[in-house]
Amino acid sequence: MSLKQRLAWRNYLIEAIMILSSLIILVPVLIMIFGSFKTNVEVLDFSLKLPKTWIFDNYKTVFEEGNLLHAFWNGILITGVSCIINIITTSAASFVLVRRESRLSNFLYLFFFMGLIAPMSTITTIRVVQWLGFYGSITSVILIYASLNTAFSVFLYNGFIKSIPRALDEVAFLEGAGMFRVFFRIITPLILPVNTTVLIMVFMSVWNDVTIPLYFLTNSNDWTMPLSVYNFYGKYSRDWNLIFADLVMTSLPVFILYLFAQKYIVSGLTAGAVKG
């Protein structure tokens, strides 16, 4: 066997091992899905066995008792508005930072970049939100989510906008266009790949989060779907089949979004990395 053939077989072996290792994550997922169709006694073995009888009424019970429709719309409201605010503010900020090359712009970019490593102080944030008068409202959660994802969004937009020729801005300015018109009419259509990436990444991070709504939403009627699992677990702590059904329904929107939009995540991240 030649050296080239040995290297090829070694690569095949490594790929096979990596694929098998990645499939390990499917084990708890399958346990959750199969368990959601079992009885409250059968589910306690937490195994990969198929249900003896597929009980679809578990999902009906969860939907009615867990008030998931209301929690779903709360999640859509919080996640959607957070994404819109984050995309508009961070893309505009990145445009200004890239086009105005100065010490202040470089400092502000590094200041934004620190958000990727600096942890959030919950107690301090609570005090600030209380001082602003937003504590306990959905508005506070939306603003916190929009700001928490600012650093990552600015990082992506900054690298992509640097690849856009300045000549486009200069021609627009000569034609009498202002800063806002240049941004929304010229720059915004060119950064659509990154907009899509930021939208998906922020959506998934906000939708799956539990801690922020738990700390900042004082009314359980404003809770999102992930928190409905927390509330549902308190009422049905022994009925793991119902808890699993709640988890499946909570995870389904993010799974569907990622399934259909994963190519946009990869293309947007690659474009920002290569062009920056």
| pLDDT at site 270 | 60
Give the pLDDT score at 88: 92
- The confidence score (pLDDT) of residue 237 equals 64
| Domains assigned to the chain | 58-275 (1.10.3720.10)
**pLDDT for residue 276:** 43
Q: What is the pTM of this model?
A: 0.79
Can you list the alpha helix ranges (DSSP code H) found in the chain? Answer: 3-22, 26-35, 57-65, 68-99, 103-113, 122-132, 138-148, 150-161, 166-174, 179-182, 188-190, 192-207, 211-216, 225-235, 240-275
Residue type, 251: S
pLDDT for position 267? 63
Which residue in 132, 167, 141 sits closest to 223, CA to CA?
141
- What pLDDT, on the 0 to 100 scale, is given for residue 234? 66
pLDDT < 70 regions, the chain: 1, 232-237, 264-276
Which value, to the nearest 10 degrees, does the dihedral of the CA atoms of residues 103, 104, 105, 111 take? 110
Structure confidence at residue 47 (pLDDT): 84
